[in-house]
Structure 1
Amino acid sequence: MKLAYIVSITAAAILISASGCEKFVDTPIPTNSIVPDQVFTNDATAVSALLGAYQSILNTAGDMALNTDLFGDDVYNPNASGAYQEAQENTYSENTNFHFFDNYYRAIFLANSLLEGLETHHTISAATAQQIKGESRFLRAYCHFVLANLYGNPPLVTTTLVSVSAYIGNTPREQLYAAIINDLKDAYELIGTGYPSEDRARANKATVSALLAKVYLYTQQWQNAEAEATRQITNPAYSMADDLNTVFVKDSPETIWQLWSQYSYNTQGATYVPSDPTRVTYILRPGLLNAFEAGDQRKVAWTREGEGNSAGLFYAYKYKQSNSSNNTNIEYLVQFRLAEQYLVRAEARAHLNNISGAMEDVNAVRARAGLANVTAAGMQEALLKIEQERRIELMTENGNRWFDLNRTGRATYWLQPQKPTWQPRDTVLPYATTLLLANPNLEQNKGY
């Protein structure tokens, strides 16, 4: 599949309501291409196209989270078949298609279209144009970040010119991350402090900074990671939710950015929370369950035991609503939240040999879980305790465990004892054969 085939655009959505508050509703933007005269007619049509990028990310975010949980050691499905079986056994090949590549590049294409179009069309108000440019750069950076952590060295695409984008080869990791950081720095300057929609469903400055903190952590720029995470930690707009059961509700004070859903549930809840508790499909692995310390209230709030034939099997219960829920307490798909920023700063501080500061951040997360404070004698002990805390706090969230295992070089240590089919090559996904045939400049990852 060429990138040329990936740039078709899903029906966009627009945030509007009669009261003046913004919500996603359908709007008749073309589904196969962006027509500049239509997209840039006014502020509303331009925002509609931008929300097509958000929608494309939402369309794949839940499945990405599920598959990365299967890649790692969070969950398993004893009856998995096809691509899901290959995911949990790490036996994926160039013939396996998880649809990550096309969905994230579709969002990138939309972001690039807006960035290019706003340079030549001046019918949009200056404030809206600036916000859209900032969000587009953020979304492009976000998608490239996820792709980098799935494939290692995917193409860096910053143009809509298909004759160019369809034949971009592998981008070295350092170059890819440099482009991501540049996009995020530009986005931070362009984007507003306040959210341009309700429910924190579109990006603001804190959203950009939260991703930048994470990128700096992944690229081992410890001082920068600490500084960016501190922005969120000291921002009075965010606070740790007191009740673990409310961390993932739509109005949680902890949420920095979440993907909007029109339903009373999201894909995570629909996947992990069984509508029939006697039939648990995605089961938390024993290693994860055993990793909870005695008295950890996260095990009580964020896991649930099945019933009947599924007694003794536990499933993720961070999101409480399955697709059969009739509750009105809507849960969106949280992407960034404050607790993760504490753990980003903790790890950065540990590498800067600020061990006491690192443990203070870890203990801020542990306190909510009802756990006693911990200390560390040095950097290595601190990093192991941070790894433990990230494993529990961020379980089944947005690929965090899988990305952590790979970026820290700990994947084989944790996964080889559990998975007889594990190979070190499995830390990156293979490019599909159709992509390689269509693009002679794209090289397969080693080992495939």
Structure 2
Amino acid sequence: MKAIYYILSVLLLTTVCSCKKFVDVGDPKDQLATSVIFVNDATATASVVGIYSDMNAFNYQFANVLTTFLGAMSADEFTYASTLANFDEFKNNSVLPGNQYADILWSQPYNFIYRANAIVEGASASTTLSSVTKNQVLGEARFIRAFCYFYLVNMFGDVPLIMDTDVIKNTDKARTPKAEVYTAIIEDLVEAKKLLINEYPENRERIRPNKVAATLLLARAYLYNENYVLAEQEAAAVISSPGYALLDNADPTNAAHMTKAFLKNSNEAVWQLQVVNTALGRNTWEGNTIVPVSTPLYRMTKDVNGLVPAFESGDKRFTNWVGKFVPPATPDITHYYPFKYKVRVGTAGVAPTEYSMVLRYAEAYLIRAEARIQQSKFNDGKEDLNVIRKRAGLTDLNTPASIAEGMLLVEKERRVELFAEWGHRWFDLKRWKSTTGIAGKTRADDILPATKPAWKSTAVLFPIPTTAIRTNKNLTPNPGYN
């Protein structure tokens, strides 16, 4: 399978030499074995931070544009206003197994998982690392592994669970049931919480996961598995953590104004990916790709069921996080695009002001709200939603009378708060049951057929890529892709 075309310890060494933006460790020479990499703190640290560098080094990758953009197009957030077959397949929910982007969404997480496995093995066996560094790199490696598996199971369903570096054993590994993969995700995050500290390591930028990042992702994993008691508990731990806040100052020039939420190291950031390729003043691949020069190619949906009308009148998220373009030749046609990232191209040679947001503090309130409502704690859940709405300048909600009523409030707030961020809307539509009560149907079945006439229920999962199936005799296609 393509997931296992690993380059063994050479991959780790490559990242040691490419991550100096994250931590200055010098350039190790002639260190070709993992046992050597985990002899000292500097090279062990470089092995893990190099993964983050590779996650964000190039455009249209799993860890930047692709997961966000393809998730948005697979759902109902925005479309691509041109013809590109690989994009059209996601927009129309008719992804083919040979789609090059589906292949990237599969192969890159497995690449990072292998490297995380190598770090877990190498750091665990080391007798020369300091206890502080050993805990840090082990915690980060477990976090990375959990993070990648979270996206794999939500995009592809059952996937091979590979937890070591034995290529021969893993090459033809069959798909593991989703529930077992989630068990491994949760175990990794629980352990990462124990190993990591609240402070961000090294230069204190929010570009390496800390205990709060592991806690937030754990809260999400519990929520997706309908363990609402623990989801509420973990989300509450994030909310009460010092150093984080919703940015809601009324003065746009103030550092705490909501337009500053996506700046590097903002108090709303729980984990970000640092810009690596700064050519021509680039800040984030997301901003560089989606902020238009003229007419936007990525346009938010604005039909009656679209994202634009989902915002209430006066919602500050719309005025501050949505861009507007009116073509001069047709002033009656207005195009809207996500504008959370403000910088398309900055000034060459000037330090970037924005980093790619991966985990954001606001999600903790939304997780706790949903978990509370699912436990019939309607007033408490409503209050969490009202915290989010207050920042947006909206009036308070009334207490819902039922779980069904409360969940519609949750759905609406998640849609307008987390739009164009890491496929949240797509994953929500797939994980929530249909309000029709029809067994096996999801909210995607309720909503997407209105604008996607070719919609099929099996489209909630992307196809297992052709290259993976060709190289692993035990991989089977997802339903609907035979």
**TM bucket normalised to smaller:** over 0.9
Q: Contact 2:275 / 2:352 at 8 angstroms: preserved in 1? A: no
- Is residue 431–residue 445 contact of structure 1 (8 Å, CA) maintained in 2? yes
CA-CA distance at 1:381 after TM superposition:
0.9
On the 8 A contact 1:14/1:47 being kept in 2, the answer is no
Q: Does 1:407 align with 2:431?
A: yes
| SS of residue in 1 equivalent to 2:223 | helix
* 1:366 and 2:389 aligned: yes
Kindly report which structure 2 residues correspond to 1:239-278, keeping only aligned pairs within 5 A, or say none. Answer: 239-242=245-248, 243-262=257-276, 263=278, 264-274=282-292, 276=293, 278=294
**Equivalence for 1:280:** 296
Matched, 1:119 2:124: yes
Query: Which of 444, 465, 472 is the aligned partner of 1:432?
Result: 465
Unaligned runs of 5+ in 1: none
CA 1:333–1:70: 2 relative to 1, 3 Å:
same
Letter in 2 for 1:130: N
Tell me how far 1:34 sits from its aligned partner: 6.2
Alignment of 1:285-296 (within 5 A): 285-286=301-302, 287-296=306-315
What code does the residue aligned with 1:2 have?
K
Q: Is the deviation greater in 249-258 or in 203-212? A: 249-258
- Equivalent residue runs for 1:71-220 within 5 Å: 71-98=74-101, 99-197=104-202, 198-220=204-226
Rounded Cα–Cα distance in structure 1 between residues aligned with 2:151 and 2:404: 27
Cα gap change, 1:16/1:259 in structure 2, threshold over 3 Å: closer, same or farther?
A: closer
The residue aligned with 1:389 is 413
Partner of 1:52: 50
2:51 counterpart letter in structure 1: A
Alpha-carbon shift at residue 105 of structure 1 (Å): 0.7
The Cα shift of 1:308 comes to: 2.9
C-alpha separation between the residues in 2 aligned to 1:61 and 1:176? 20
1:36 aligns with 2:34: yes
Instruction: Name which of structure 1's ranges 5-14 and 170-179 shifts more when overlaid on structure 2.
Output: 5-14
> Which residue, 433, 456, 462 being the options, matches 1:423?
456
Q: Unaligned stretches of 5+ in structure 2?
A: 249-256, 433-441
- Residue number among 313, 316, 322 corresponding to 1:297 in the alignment: 316
Distance 1:340 1:384, change over 3 A: same
For 1:15 and 1:214, the matched residues in 2 are separated by 31
Letter in 1 for 2:288: A
Amino acid corresponding to residue 230 of structure 2 in structure 1: N
2:359 alignment partner, SS class: strand
8 Å CA contact 1:284–1:316 kept in 2: the answer is yes
SS of residue paired to 1:214? helix
- CA shift in 2, pair 1:86/1:115, >3 Å: same
Report how many residues are paired: 441
Tell me the residue number matched to 1:23.
Answer: 22
What code does the residue aligned with 2:235 have? Answer: A
Q: Is the alpha carbon distance of 1:433 and 1:30 closer, same or farther for their aligned partners in structure 2, counting shifts above 3 Å?
A: farther
The structural deviation recorded for 1:13 is 5.3
**SS of equivalent residue, structure 2 residue 5:** helix
Q: Distance in 1 between the 2:157 and 2:405 partners? A: 28
Q: Match for 1:447: what amino acid?
A: G
Aligned to 1:306: 325
Q: In structure 2, what is the Cα distance between the partners aligned to 1:28 and 1:412?
A: 53
Listed one character per residue, the Cα deviations across residues 128-182 of structure 1 (whole Å, up to 9, x for unaligned) are 0111111111110110001010101111110111011212111101111111111
Report the Cα offset of residue 432 of structure 1. Answer: 1.4
Sequence identity percentage: 33
**CA shift for structure 1 position 307:** 3.9
- In 2: Cα distance, 1:325 partner to 1:169 partner: 49
Paired amino acid for 1:281: L
Instruction: Write the distance in 2 (CA, Å) between the matches of 1:315 and 1:380.
Output: 31
> Which region of structure 1 is more displaced relative to structure 2, 56-65 or 236-245?
56-65
- Cα distance between partner residues in 2 of 1:60 and 1:144: 12
Query: Post-superposition, which runs of at least 4 consecutive aligned residues in structure 1 deviate over 4 A?
Result: 13-17, 24-31, 324-329
TM-score, with length taken from structure 1: 0.93
Q: Distance in 2 between matches of 1:26 and 1:71?
A: 41
Would the aligned equivalents of 1:56 and 1:104 in 2 still touch at CA under 8 Å? no
Instruction: State the AA in 1 paired with 2:50.
Output: G
Q: 2:358 aligns to what? A: 335
Shift of 1:70: 1.2
d(CA) in 2 for partners of 1:37, 1:202: 23
Deviation of 1:23 (Å): 3.3
Alpha-carbon offset, residue 97 of structure 1 = 2.5
Normalised to the residue count of structure 2, the TM-score between the two structures is 0.87
> CA-to-partner distance for each residue in 1:25-81, whole Å, 9 max, x for gaps?
6965799x9622442242111111112322343352222111111111111012131
| TM-aligned CA deviation for residue 424 of structure 1 | 0.9
- 1:189-225 CA distance string (max 9 Å, x none): 1112211142211111111000000000000000000
